[in-house]
A and B are shown apart, each in its own frame.
Chain A
Amino acid sequence: MTAALVLRGLTKRYADLAAVDGLDLTVEAGTLYGFLGPNGAGKTTTIRMLLGLVHPTGGTMEVLGAPIGAAQLRRIGALVEEPAFWRYLSGGRNLEYFARAAGPSGDRRDRLGRVDEVLGQVGLADAGGKKVKAYSQGMRQRLGIARALLGRPDVLVLDEPTNGLDPQGMREVRLLLRRLADGGTTVFVSSHLLGEVESMCDRVGVLARGRLVAEGSPAQLRGSGDRLRIDVDDPAGARRLLGGMAGLALGAHGDGARTGAGAGAGTLRVHLAAPATAAAVNAALVAGGVAVSALVPERERLEDVFLELTGPEP
């Protein structure tokens, strides 16, 4: 596979603050890449540098095999923060004018056909004649995605594309992006919504304080192995019994007394890897005289990984 985006040591400094700090990132062509990070991590600054809006302080960027320039931008469709439009014009007219703005754009009929096509793709076929100032936030968001699609781009750079959409709209956008990626378009999506990224993306990069702190498929980021929640009447006893078991790691967090249970009852969280199994854990506890009221397998959530990675500096 070839790389659609290659960032090397990308840096943007404002006074003495580095918004983006030596960012290395590669996005292979045709992937749906989730760019995750808390607010202020540098996602938008990175996207603005990618699109030539903000000049980097240092580092290099290559888009589709060349430094960013007009030829590259023609092959990129973008949504950067809020979708902004000329509010006094209709949605369709906005798209037409943005399509024409970049220069001679061929046949008028083709252009208007393309406008109708992208409006249909985002579910705005009936609203194209309405003025943008009468649009809801969700409709503006859809129109923003439609504008990004106008030039049949090879790379889509979308900043929080599902912002302001209802659950149905979010699903539609996710399916649309998935379809585009499956058709060979590289889709680079920034988000702070983990669930969204987890369910949709092929690869995820996590940005914190201007640096990439983790990267991989959602499954890789979640890590291997299973977690087990064990509710018992005697957590201390259970800890003692399980302490020496092979393949088992006692969780450092999540322990504690449960309300509503008997005195002394509590919860343990353990990590399981071969040869330890849930059945063996149960057998060991029961044999040791600890009553087990629940044994629940838990998948580690991306959210936990994310919070761990992006939390305040130690």
Chain B
Amino acid sequence: MFRVELGKAARRWRTWALALVLGAIPALFVLALVLSPPASGDDGPPFMVQTLRNGLFAPLVALVLLQPFFLPLTAGLLSGDAIAGESSAGTLRYLLVRPVGRTRLILAKYASVMALLGLLLAWVLVVGLVVGTIAFDLRPLATLSGTTVGVGPALARIAGSAAYVLAGVAGLAAVGLFISTLTESGPGATVATVAFAIVSQILGALSSLEVLHPYLLNTHWLAFVELLRSPVAAAPMLRGLAVFAAYTVVFLGAACLVLGRRDVHS
């Protein structure tokens, strides 16, 4: 079922449109930097510009831009549609009578959503790296702590950041899949999932609700910046991973329960 899902995605126009849009983000960022003339003399902060004009920086900026908005949107689209889309197309009943077990269907759908998100994220990093390298070359990366790391270790840190970003969106994808089992409308489930992410970010912005913050997904989303410090502080990311894992387990479990007990009338 997992491979069937990937095959379906590969033959779907939507997947390629997503890749195009997400790939445009780092490309546009680099283009904007190329077009803005390098600051000369004492007009601008040359250090900042020097830092930005590095092929390694484009994928990092892409991660920061993707995390709060485009990635939740993509995760909502893919996961919200996962069950509800099959339901509204009528193919859900034909899958279940093959038979594809209901729990297996949920897990295969979730795995394929995460695989697609991972592939899209990798694609964005590759586009950023390639375009950035063409425009600015690769240079040792300046960390937030003021030190620099070589190109090789910097690439490893970027890959680690991407993996953490993907883990962060895994919790949201599980929420989306759960919502997807509740409705027969794919777009409805997508909107609800994105709304969940937005509300969660609003809650995260309200300082009066500070007690809630440790339990929100988005509180931990940007903790990968720890990987850009020297030395790396692992604790915030470990806390984040624990929260992501909890969301994933709870909502996937709920999705399995709901679909397992539900009468399929669609």
Contacts and interface: CB of A to CB of B under 8 A. Distances in A.
Contacts of A70: 99, 101
B100 A53 contact: no
Interface stretch (A2-10, A74-82, A306-314): A74-82
A100 B97 contact: no
Interface in A37-77: 48, 51-55, 70, 73-74, 76
A292 B251 CA distance: 80
Contacts of B13: 88
Contacts of B8: 86, 89, 97
Contacts of A86: 8, 89, 91
A54 to B, nearest CB: 4
A85 interface: yes
Contacts of A102: 1, 98-100
A88 B11 contact: yes
B264 interface: yes
SS of A interface (majority): loop
Contact of A76 (B7, B90, B97, B261): B97
A176 interface: no
Contacts of B69: none
Given A86-B8, A86-B89, A52 B96 contact: yes
A101 B98 contact: yes
Nearest to A76: B97
Contacts of A192: none
A39 to B, nearest CB: 16
Contacts of A81: 90
Nearest to A150: B98
B82 to A, nearest CB: 13
Interface of A: 48, 51-55, 70, 73-74, 76, 78, 80-82, 84-89, 93, 97-98, 100-103, 147
Given A74-B99, A86-B91, A101-B1, 4 more contacts: A54-B264, A81-B90, A89-B8, A93-B11
Interface of B: 1, 3-4, 7-8, 11-13, 89-91, 93-101, 261, 263-265
28 contacts: A48-B93, A48-B263, A48-B264, A51-B96, A52-B99, A53-B265, A54-B264, A70-B99, A76-B97, A78-B94, A78-B97, A80-B94, A80-B97, A81-B90, A82-B90, A84-B93, A86-B8, A86-B91, A87-B89, A88-B13, A89-B8, A89-B11, A97-B8, A98-B94, A98-B95, A101-B95, A102-B100, A103-B1
The 5 A-B residue pairs whose C-beta atoms are closest, nearest first, are: A84-B90, A73-B99, A102-B98, A53-B264, A54-B263
